[in-house]
Amino acid sequence: MRLNKFLSQAGIASRRESDNLIKNAMVTVNGVLETNPAYQVKSKDEVFFDDQRIKFETKTRIIAFNKPEGYITTMKDPHHRKTVIDLIHTDERLFPIGRLDKDTTGLLLLTNDGQLANKLMHPRNQIPRIYKLQIDKVFQSWEIKRMASKVYIGQKEWGKADVVDQKKIKGRVTVHLRLFHGKKREVRRIIFRMKRKLFSLERVQYGSIELGDIPLGKWRDLSNKELKSLNSL
């Protein structure tokens, strides 16, 4: 297997980004810097990136994690902020499928399968994500139609969201939104443009996987049935 593909399938980066990492002398093979993305990785080779040995996992593993507020979605933070990896204690190297921003809670999937992760994150595959929000006012019918069409969210980008349901309880409105693209802070940017005050934001579903009753800060392995459902998307 080519070195760039090896890194990509191990979840380090995309194939193109892996090319750059290799060419920039950030990868060693058997203790020697390797700058050729086409290097053929052999079964006995020891590949290191960022001082960590990279092993290609043959058995796919995905966990569902209930992310608390105040943690960032990254493997390592140069500013020493709290990361989701700090709460996931496993000997296996797992990396996030997509991101949740620091102030957002809820379902985050992590895996050892880079190819599957790229598939689930790629915009062209239109994988639905459902978010539960608390806001100050209900959406009117014309606003619901506008969000389902497109909303300008700044930085030359447009956002889209389907209102699944909304219910007013004790002066606040609980809304479920369905999105398909996952642009950076897309939900927050849509809510801002729709002139609503956002009190809380939680992701409750990614594709066919639901958050369910996983306690905050805890995680569980997906079942074989759930793994098959993600692979079929």
**What residues are annotated to the active site?**
101
Return the C-alpha torsion angle 150, 151, 153, 159, nearest 10. Answer: -30
- Rounded to whole angstroms, the Cα distance separating 11 from 13 reads 6
- Rounded to whole angstroms, the Cα distance separating 9 from 152 reads 35
Planar angle of CA 138, 203, 223, nearest 5 degrees: 140
- Rounded to whole angstroms, the Cα distance separating 163 from 147 reads 8
Length of the chain: 233
